[in-house]
Amino acid sequence: RSCRDVSALVLAREDRRLNWSERLAIRVHFMICKACPRFEQQVRTMRGALDMWRSYRNGEED
Amino acid sequence: MNDVQQQIESFRPMLMRLALLQLRNQAWAEDAVSEAMLAAIEGVGSFSQRSKLQTWVVGILKYKVLDQLRLHQRECAYAATDDDDAIEDAVYVPNGHFRDLPDTWDPPAQALQQSQFLSVLEACMDALPGQLGRVFLMREWLEFDTAEICQELGLSSTNVWQMLSRARLRLRQCLQVNWFNHSTP
């Protein structure tokens, strides 16, 4: 798949469980691509930031 | 007015900020906040102090915000715009490759930097257009799963997944421009 397709799957993984062929597509694509693993790292950073923001706004941490 | 009531009253600006972020409508947000504060003041006897007062009040606000979403569900239609395509075109070239190699993002480590980063993140969420922002905040603040969002807003799961992906792509773009472009040496 193209980077556009694979990065869409990386984003979709935040909101739904991917099926086996989608998970395989990501793994295979990551072997040959330098850009998509970086995109995934950005998505992970956003995940951490959103979790931190939610805790902060819910008053769960000082 | 006793101490606890005063403390609850002091949360009003923060509650208003959160309600507006989720509802994207001043009148709906004011209704949600007023009802939440009234419920908190009336129910303060049942506050068990197992959680912080702010956490308890924000929990009440979430229910009141949801009431507003249900009340105005029919006014919350979403239509994809050319703007959505423009965001994708800014990220990818026509053959599906990235236009630019994505940067490595270093999350902020210092407390002050973290606080500034969260402000930028919130501003980026605020900038998400209407219903896209509502759906994204339902997922990330109200912590609904996609099935619950579909049920509450009367949308298909495909539609919700597409909206969440578009919101995340916009958020990424906004953080890149407003934080990471400035914080890289």
- Report the pLDDT averaged over residues B96-113: 85
Nearest to A41 among B58, B105, B143 (CB): B105
A59 interfacial to chain B (CB closer than 8 Å)? yes
Residues B93 and B121 in one domain: yes
Residues B46 and B88 in one domain: no
Is B171 close to A54, i.e. CB distance below 8 A? no
pLDDT at A61: 58
3-state secondary structure (DSSP) of residue A33: coil
Give the Cα-Cα-Cα angle B7, B13, B17 (nearest 5 degrees): 135
| Domain termination residue (choose one: B32, B49, B74) | B74
Query: Residue A17 — pLDDT band, cuts 50, 70, 90?
Result: confident
> Given a cut of 50, is residue B185 above it in pLDDT?
no
- Which residue carries 């807003």 as its tokens? B153
> What are the backbone dihedrals phi and psi of residue B155, each rounded to the nearest 5 degrees, phi first?
-110, 160
pLDDT digits (tens, 9 = 90+) for B51-96: 778 888 999 999 899 999 888 865 666 566 656 778 788 899 998 9
Q: Partners of B23 in the beta sheet?
A: none
> Given a cut of 60, is residue B1 above it in pLDDT?
no
- Which residue carries 């009148």 as its tokens? B27
> What are the backbone dihedrals phi and psi of residue B11, each rounded to the nearest 5 degrees, phi first?
-80, -10
pLDDT digits (tens, 9 = 90+) for B110-160: 777 788 899 999 999 999 988 789 899 999 999 999 899 998 888 899 989
Residues B97 and B86 in one domain: yes
| Domain termination residue (choose one: B38, B57, B74) | B74
> Given a cut of 60, is residue B50 above it in pLDDT?
no
Residue from B164, B156, B133, B152 nearest B71 by CA: B152
Residue from B21, B3, B1, B32 nearest B12 by CA: B32
Is A12 close to B165, i.e. CB distance below 8 A? yes
- Residue B19, Cβ neighbours under 10 Å: how many? 25
Is A30 in contact with A7 (CB distance < 8 Å)? no
- Report the pLDDT averaged over residues B20-29: 91
Q: B145: domain range?
A: 77-183
Residues B90 and B63 in one domain: no
Residues B83 and B142 in one domain: yes
Domain count, chain B: 2
> Given a cut of 70, is residue A33 above it in pLDDT?
yes
pLDDT, greater one: B122 or B50: B122
Q: Which of A7, A13, A29 is best to mutate for the B interface (most B CBs within 10 A)?
A: A7
Is B172 close to A42, i.e. CB distance below 8 A? yes
**DSSP for residue B103:** P
For position B34, which CATH number holds? 1.10.1740
